[in-house]
Amino acid sequence: SHLNVDRRKDRLKLAKAHRNWSVTDWKRVISSDETKINLLESDGIQYTWKEGGQPDQSHNIKETRRRQKSLMVWGCMTSLGVGYACRVYDGTMKAADYVHILSTTYKDILAYYDSKNKDVVFQQDDWPAQSPDLNPIEHLWHHVKIRLGAYETRAKNVKELWERFDYEWNQFIIEDLEPYYDSMPDRVLACIKNKCNNTGY
In whole numbers, what is the pLDDT of the chain averaged over residues? 83
Give the predicted TM-score (pTM) of the model.
0.79
Q: Who has greater pLDDT, 67 or 71?
A: 71
Angular region, 46: left φ>0, alpha ψ -120 to 50, beta rest: beta
Local structure of 105: helix, strand or coil: helix
- Domain spanning 5-38+56-193 has what CATH number? 3.30.420.10
The better pLDDT of the pair 53, 154 is held by 154
pLDDT in tens, 109-124: 999 999 998 899 998 7
User: What span, in angstroms and rounded, lies between the C-alpha atoms of 182 and 176?
Assistant: 11
Q: For the chain, what are the domain ranges?
A: 5-38+56-193
For residues 165 and 157, what is the distance between their CA atoms, to the nearest angstrom? 12
